Structure 1
Amino acid sequence: MKLMKKMVALISALVVLMVAFSGCVGDNKSAVNGTEPNSSGENVNPAETANVSELNDSAVNVTESSSLETNVTPAESAANTSEFNKPSAGGTDSTNSGSNTNSAESTADISKLENLPEGFKYVGSVPLNAADIKIDYNAENISEVVGGSEGMYKYNESDFYIDVIELGNSEVTTNLIDAYKSSFKPLTEGSRFVNESFNGHSAVRIADHVTSAGTEIPRYTYIWGSGNHVFVVTGSTADASLVKKLAEATGY
């Protein structure tokens, strides 16, 4: 009887060992194949699990990105759009093309002569604004006056001036000249206005008089138009030939 009990105990122990051994072999096989049992008992490859995890992460990132885009306010969207619409630093905005040209600078260049007649010296230039030009030249009704520049010169003790007046278009140059001429009264003797030619065009010589020590002394001015500019050359001298010489030196 005791022998039978021992044999049953031995057989039970062998069964336990076989079951345990079978479990170890199954675990090792899974390790060798690189698979792991999932919660349902199926073997799953860790690499596949990692891929699924990455896909899930990507989905999360996409969701977060979409959320960020949704949260962009209209002001931020407009700001971003304006950045794209800004002209480059080295580029030029077509709507402002040519707006950097300063009329005062261009007329100043013209009023400063490079080649002066002998005996003349350049003193300097001053800008002329449209309001002052309209007053000085009786041109209050001419809206196309843009501005100008006055070049100052010396010849011995006499002062000479070259006024360069810029207008909105060439069609109104005659209007300004006529308006200036109309500011003079007729002379009691002789003709106040005389047409002369130089540099391939006609100019008007205007005779005037100043009183010095009770004596009337003649003064002369040359005025003409060229393109959309009006040129006025005058001097504190009774010698009209000196004024004409400076007028010719303008090249206009």
Structure 2
Amino acid sequence: MQSSEEVQRKLMYHSLLPSLEAPEITEEARQLYLEQCGGTDLSLAALRGDQELVEVLLASGASDSPDFSGVTALYHAAMRGFAEIVRSLAAARSDLEARCSDGSTALIQAAYVASQTEGPRRAACAVVVSVLRELGADLAPKDSWGKTADYYCRGVPELEIAIKSEVLVTCPYQDCHRVYRVRRADYRCRVVRCGCVIFRGREYQLPKHGSRADVRQWLQESWGWDGWPGEVLGCGRPFRFPEESGLGSFLTWSEELTGAEHPSAVDADGDYSIATSNL
């Protein structure tokens, strides 16, 4: 059972939150947070979405220490939907599984907030769920109510996808617009081909962005299964994943590309016909 002092401190903390999230924070609010709540400037920067300050503090050696209720900077960033700050903190070895006083982790909290909100906040927290799963955040922990992150994602399509480490990708070509799933663990290239291969009932993403002959050769040499590549879906043309896809960091075959070029510019010698039977 919590002591009266702990209860008072928690009430003070929650009453302080609006001023901490305000466009301009007062020095008085900052000091209250640091001195009475056990917070840090790193947590405060994460809570406010100040990416630049987070990077500066991490570069100067700041560590992600929890406040009096166990809330870390990573937890703050997750519940506010700041995916890139989550990445920065994770790269600096913030604890993905740190639990606050109600037993929730950053993943649980991001899923909970997304499930309770709509619009941009839900979308931002859904991306955080995707990022945390990509980084290896555990699905097993339960909060004080016995609920997992997976529980809070149920019934919300974008969260159900995010929690499975998948996102839906739509081909940008108007004569295609096929929608398919991409597994983060399988893809690390910003430029891809539209579509997938159905083999033995499972979807496999089309690799790289070479010509159709290159793709066919890669498939045969990489897998070598009888009957491969099976049924092919999608138009096979290359495009770039959008920045807001939630798929995270990418390696790209063409670092000079800015994303403004026509998709075919990444593969001038490729076959851009709709037909896929010759793959």
Of Structure 1 and Structure 2, the greater strand share is in 1
Q: Normalising by structure 1, report the TM-score.
A: 0.21
Task: State the structure with bigger RCO (CA 8 A, min sep 6), 1 or 2.
Answer: 1
TM-score by length of 2: 0.19
